[in-house]
């Protein structure tokens, strides 16, 4: 039984960009079989960062989240595939790198909870809301038919 095809948001945060780990992260996503359907390198402004982290507004760490995500360029990815939301979160690992599964991006490369390299949407509703913050409809380049054609030979 196949799972539903989903699209999720992955952010390679400023620490991933500054440490030269974007290629590693993208490579792991693609090797897992996920398809990058949109990608932007950008400097996030405060308003967009606050919208992205709106569920944390009012929490003690909210200002630090906004400050960090706007501190340098990031790479936003729209990633598509079967079971992508859960699969990407598994590939990335737990928020705390010390608790992340061995072999996950965060276990292998992240230093602290506050500098954990990557964001991944945690549900279909979050993915829809977050993707709309980072991408317009015209940003998407569907590659699914190419992938299916390649698999079939």
Whether 52 is catalytic is: no
Q: 40, 52, 56, 119: which is the annotated catalytic residue?
A: 119
Q: How many CB atoms lie within 10 A of CB 17?
A: 16
The sign of the CA dihedral 10, 14, 15, 17 is positive
The angle, 0 to 180 degrees and rounded to 10, between the axes of the packed helices 22-31 and 84-92 is 130
Distance, in Å, from the CA atom of 50 to the CA atom of 124, rounded to the nearest integer, reads 20
Distance, in Å, from the CA atom of 43 to the CA atom of 128, rounded to the nearest integer, reads 21
CA distances 149 to 4, 70, 144, 145, 152, Å, are 19, 39, 9, 6, 5
Active site members:
119
């Amino acid at each position: 039984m196949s799972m539903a095809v989903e699209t999720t948001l992955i952010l390679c945060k400023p620490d991933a960009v500054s440490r030269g780990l974007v290629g590693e992260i993208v490579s792991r996503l693609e090797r897992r079989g996920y398809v990058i359907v949109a990608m932007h390198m950008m400097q996030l402004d405060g308003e967009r960062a606050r919208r992205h982290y709106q569920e944390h507004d009012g929490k003690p760490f909210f200002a630090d989240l906004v400050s960090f995500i706007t501190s340098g360029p990031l790479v936003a990815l729209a990633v598509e595939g079967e079971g992508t939301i859960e699969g990407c979160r598994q590939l990335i690992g737990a928020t705390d790198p010390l608790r992340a599964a061995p072999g996950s991006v965060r276990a292998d490369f992240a230093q602290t909870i506050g500098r954990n390299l990557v964001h991944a949407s945690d549900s279909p509703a979050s993915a829809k809301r977050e993707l709309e913050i980072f991408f317009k409809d015209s940003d998407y380049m569907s590659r699914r038919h190419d992938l299916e054609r390649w698999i079939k030979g």
